Amino acid sequence: MSTLANYLDAHAKDPALSNVITTVTEVGKTISGLLKKGALADILGEAGNQNVQGEEQKKLDVLANDLLLDALAKNTHCAGVASEELDDATPANADGSLLVLFDPLDGSSNIDINMAVGTIFSILPYERQGQNSENSDFLQAGNQQLAAGYLLYGTSTVLALTIDDNVVMFSLDPDSGDYILINDHVQIAADTSEYAINASNYRYWLAPMQQYIDELIAGKTGVRGRDFNTRWVAAMVGDVHRILCRGGLFTYPFDTKYPNKAGKLRLMYEANPMSLLIERAGGAATDAINRILDIEPTDIHQRVPVVLGSKNEVNYVKDLHVQHAHS
């Protein structure tokens, strides 16, 4: 049985990277434990604050954020931390070589109803060692990520990770407290008949996305000539996990519901790390036209439309958008 520690020893070229990943995944064990206790750990409900996106924070959002921040601030390799929950990045150790970004608790509306939530993380290089990190240091395209992953706190706790051109998965063994390797080469089939979208936003979408979903709903009777099935976890981490396990398409498209925002999902904390995992598992990730990993960020909290998953299906959506842009 290979553990995460064995895996990192064998595969991580940089000991600093192993060390920071270990810090994040150790905090993941604490979050997983709190979630298991649920109401008994007094973690449910609102914390009474709003985050930088103007959303209500849940108690566990705040706790998970603080746990990660505290642990990473103590890690000598970590030069700075950016969290979906905090307005500005927090400088950590100026001599560190890595920057860590995270969504401490993705899918927070699921906490109180005992459904899947997760922690998503992304690790970038730090180029100004010796000086305190600033927000601008984090503004690197997703293709610069040194590692990315998520912890899914579901019926079991699972870690998906990429530190090279491969994607691997571990399951947290509640008896030993170790992350045990369960898949050493995650691959996504190019074709799928399963898709995930919050269809209640239909009237806010652009015409090509409406056309795409109309085609899927028409199934056998329409141009696609086969039936499709829907799944929606309301936590991207759950939907991406399903896609890494059995393929599929996930989209939170551009919509006009959030004026002046390009979509709901955050580029740096959600779209970039998930896109790296998906691409390295053989899938594709786009904002409907451009590769997500090539987007040059201008703000650590910027939002982006997301279409990711099985390659042929993602390309189908992209082609519809490109054709529409040229018509």
Q: Which residues bind ligand AFP (CB under 6 A)?
A: 55, 106-109, 198, 234-236, 252, 264-265
Cβ neighbours for 11, distance < 8 A, ≥ 6 positions apart: 163, 164
Which segments of 204-300 does DSSP mark as H helices, in order? 207-218, 236-246, 272-280
Query: Judged by CB, which is closer to ligand AFP: 49, or 131?
Result: 49
Question: From the CB of 213, what's the least distance to ligand AFP, in Å?
Answer: 15
- Positive or negative, the CA dihedral 151, 157, 163, 166 is negative
Question: From the CB of 153, what's the least distance to ligand AFP, in Å?
Answer: 13
CB 233 within 8 A of CB 116: yes
Q: Which residues pair with 309 in a beta bridge?
A: 249, 284
CB 148 within 8 A of CB 162: yes
Query: Judged by CB, which is closer to ligand AFP: 32, or 97?
Result: 32
CB 97 within 8 A of CB 64: no
Question: From the CB of 257, what's the least distance to ligand AFP, in Å?
Answer: 9
Tell me the residue nearest to ligand AFP as measured from the CB: 236
Binding-site residue ranges for Mg(2+): 84, 103, 105-106, 270
Question: From the CB of 248, what's the least distance to ligand AFP, in Å?
Answer: 13
Which pair of tokens denotes residue 115? Answer: 């459904």
Question: From the CB of 327, what's the least distance to ligand AFP, in Å?
Answer: 29
Query: Judged by CB, which is closer to ligand AFP: 92, or 240?
Result: 240
Query: Judged by CB, which is closer to ligand AFP: 53, or 183?
Result: 53
Query: Reduced to 3 states, what is the DSSP secondary structure of residue 146?
Result: coil
Read off φ and ψ for residue 305, nearest 5 degrees: -70, 145
Q: Report the alpha-carbon distance of residue 57 to residue 139 in Å, rounded.
A: 25
Classify residue 5 by its DSSP letter. H
Binding-site residue ranges: 84, 103, 105-109, 198, 264, 270
The alpha carbon of 235 is separated from its chain's Cα centroid by a whole number of angstroms, namely 9
Binding-site residue ranges for substrate: 106-109, 198, 264
Question: From the CB of 58, what's the least distance to ligand AFP, in Å?
Answer: 8
- Tell me the one-letter amino acid at 120: I
Query: Judged by CB, which is closer to ligand AFP: 26, or 55?
Result: 55
Query: Judged by CB, which is closer to ligand AFP: 99, or 265?
Result: 265
